[in-house]
Amino acid sequence: MDDHRRQGIGMTSRRTRERLAGRLGDAGIRDARVLNVMRQIPRHLFVDEALASRAYEDTALPIGHGQTISQPFVVARMTEILIRDRIPSRVLEVGTGSGYQAAVLAALVDEVCTIERIRALYERSRALFRQLGIGNMRQRLGDGFEGWPSAAPFDAIILTAAPETVPPALFEQLADDGQLMAPVGGGGTQELRVWHRRAGAFDEQTVEAVSFVPMRGGIEG
């Protein structure tokens, strides 16, 4: 990949990423590790070139196929919660989408396993991860409702699309002392919830209101 494109210029430059990190800090993101990664990851590469000048706005953007790249604050917030108590070694992400959330996680944890049901997004993100040299990423084209049984258990599981209820298979693939994070509910607004698994039992916490695309089953394309 051309280094100028990777580093960005103008509205996609490192200085713009610095300003984004500053705004995230002002908005309540406190974890310095997360803010540092948000400075490093070139979000403009995860959106269409026509939208690159808007990549560092704190807003969700379309990536095609009825999907979006989450706003940076939501990515940072979910990441901050995920590593708050300890950094998980292995994380399962359900819904690769653009690949941005997975790239942020990969900069912080040992291994990210990520599932995408839309073939075009799977192939696009796969190529981008290779171009960026992200070596601790495993990808699968599959149905997120099924999870990734052969790779389980996971220290953490994060959903980037909203189911009406979390699929039981995902709870089964969570390691003891692990946590699962998901936006839950129908319509345009959901609740971000976190479950901790301790001795086989689950403690549930509601964090805040969020807005995600609905979680779908099956494979498309």
Could you say which of 70, 125, 150, 211 is catalytic? 70
User: Is position 70 annotated as part of the catalytic site?
Assistant: yes
CB burial of 62-84 (b: ≥16 within 10 Å; e: otherwise) equals ebeeebbbbbbbbbbbbbbbbbe
Assign residue 41 a region: left if phi > 0, alpha if psi is -120 to 50, beta otherwise? beta
206 burial level (CB within 10 Å; 0-12, 13-18, 19+)? exposed
Distance CA 150, CA 148 (A): 6
Q: Which residues are catalytic?
A: 70
